[in-house]
Structure 1
């Protein structure tokens, strides 16, 4: 299910469903949206803090539901990730989302929301940089900024080596709906009603601050759950701050080779999608094609 595109004059809602945010940082991001002709509506509890959470669960959930129900809000942009979306996921009114489909944008801890909402409603959501954690950084670059424009009209995206060097671990070409996101969050869905479905899908993974042995453990859990075998192909995004602190250690490249040495489907790494710049924003749930021959990832539009 595609959301309607944005147009100048539309209102976007900004809420914090996970970790707490700094007001000054969020406010510095407002000009990014205003320069695109968009109006901003803040969640009532966007500046709340409750320990490592952006307010009590009930208030973060209420902000989300209010934005979904508000017909004047055309897109919901999450202020930052952190931790906390998994705590409210079983309270989200999926029927309300079905009745009010709109653009949903964020990443990292938001992976839990992307997965649950897509699988319950069929809504296409967007994996992209967030206002309080990315758009205010000095290295927020032109490409990362321009990719927000895909929300203003149907856009076919092509990722090639013109953006970054790509490494092929297994050759081949595969098409399917692209799913996934933050690896640690995908693992958290296993054994829950929101468990990630990878059957015949292109599985995308990324993460930050996870050493090779931790990535190894999470990949092994996906393997044991059948998620790697069921996928049509694997897209390895950015794994930031992954240098091992525990020595001796395998390199991350060795971890990938271990899990994909006998894989019979395409596996390509090096995509600048994740906790990095440029951050190549993508719609999740759209049809996509991964090809080792052309070293490209092609994605269908995420809006109509």
Structure 2
């Protein structure tokens, strides 16, 4: 495939552009997608796009393969969108069109990735657009690239989704490495150096926190010191994301020292897993902000090749690869809600505290590394006695490493059905948990899971 060339549309190209849009409309009509017609976008609209220098044409050799408009203009109905950050620097994509001759060749995806790269380099924080609800091809493309539906509008041709994507990191962005739970053993220094090198090769600049390695028993520093180290990175505008590489038992002791007002105002994501379930859910409970349940050390373990690819595509290119997990239903057929939870043992450390998240209409994610049947029975009964199973809209089960390795019976699925009841939707996945092949999941994000017919 020849390289795509992006260039500002010129007046002399109007006729060729109009012909391309006309053919695209004919192709959509043939596929029963009645999104555009002779009224929109007409030649006058396209001419205005060109005169404002807002239209880009995409060439492959001498042939025009696509065109799009990029500006900050939108219809009044865009106010219906629940935009994540109303103050963010944004651009809106309009009238993206691929020449039918070049469709089904990945052109639209390449164009979108080019737009994202260019805007990130300009310091733009997010992209917004609208997509016709009866155009499954466009919706699939945008959602695969990480665009999220923020609302709906009704226009002349029907219902449209309002969609938004917060742009990820760019090359040479700085990211923080912290340990809020147990300090890392000194013997891990070589592995952590390898992790730093891997992150650097991906294109980011890792900045190590002051308290990473064990100094006194499991402590890399006092609770206050570890909290202050974390907050230092939240306050540093050069840091674009924070990755916690620890696990263990002591993360919850830093919670009283965190400044949740600062965290609420920050646009950077906190990443961690296992014992960091406490911090991740506390952030959501106190601020409503999203965090990522994922262990970045997976980049250097057994499944490193896939992990690096998924991580790079998601963090650098903004795709959904790292968060696209397979699942199956074991009870009911659908669930919708905001994801909370994580490691079941660590989540329950928050019970009875101000950091416990509101459970109403949530999808409760549960996974574990250690523990077998007696421990799981304890945890599930505590959740039941707290009334959690009567409030949530569904349960997503990740992996339960020790139970699965020992082939424990009853299984975790059987135990959850026993204590959560038969009316609650339950799905399971082997792609979220403590495995080196585990994917990430965004805690605090709304998701919908639906039974897939195989």
TM-score range, shorter chain: 0.7 to 0.9
Task: Note the 1:209-288 alignment, pairs <5 A.
Answer: 209-242=370-403, 250-262=410-422, 264-288=423-447
Structure 1 residues 13 and 47, CA gap change in structure 2 (3 angstroms): same
Q: Which residue of 2 aligns with 1:13?
A: 176
Structure 1 residues 130 and 58, CA gap change in structure 2 (3 angstroms): same
- Quick check: 2:224–2:257 contact (8 Å CA) kept in 1? no
- Quick check: 1:235–1:271 contact (8 Å CA) kept in 2? no
Q: Which residue of 2 aligns with 1:299?
A: none
Please give the per-residue CA displacement for 1:4-51, whole angstroms capped at 9, x wherever unaligned: 521111000101111111322211111221111111111122224221
Q: Distance in 1 between matches of 2:442 and 2:395?
A: 16
Q: Which residue of 1 aligns with 2:316?
A: 152
Q: Which residue of 2 aligns with 1:207?
A: 368
Q: Which residue of 2 aligns with 1:301?
A: none
TM-score by length of 2: 0.59
- Quick check: 2:272–2:292 contact (8 Å CA) kept in 1? yes
Q: Which residue of 2 aligns with 1:197?
A: 358
Q: Larger helix proportion, structure 1 or 2?
A: 2
Q: Distance in 2 between matches of 1:93 and 1:82?
A: 23
> How far off its partner does 1:144 sit?
2.9
- Quick check: 1:266–1:292 contact (8 Å CA) kept in 2? no
Q: Distance in 1 between matches of 2:307 and 2:419?
A: 30
Moved more, 268-277 or 84-93: 268-277
> How far off its partner does 1:244 sit?
9.0
Larger Rg: 2
The answer for unaligned runs of 5 or more in structure 2 is 1-83, 86-165
Q: Distance in 1 between matches of 2:450 and 2:197?
A: 38
Structure 1 residues 112 and 209, CA gap change in structure 2 (3 angstroms): same
TM-score by length of 1: 0.86
Q: Distance in 1 between matches of 2:349 and 2:178?
A: 23
Please give the per-residue CA displacement for 1:145-178, whole angstroms capped at 9, x wherever unaligned: 33323223544454336xxxx4x33112121111
Q: Distance in 2 between matches of 1:261 and 1:207?
A: 21
Q: Which residue of 1 aligns with 2:340?
A: 179
- Quick check: 2:397–2:427 contact (8 Å CA) kept in 1? yes
Give the alignment's Cα RMSD to 1 decimal.
2.3
Task: Note the 1:74-85 alignment, pairs <5 A.
Answer: 74-85=240-251
Q: What's the secondary structure of 2:403's corresponding residue? A: coil
> How far off its partner does 1:294 sit?
4.5
Q: Which residue of 1 aligns with 2:269?
A: 103
**Does 2:50 match 1:50?**
no
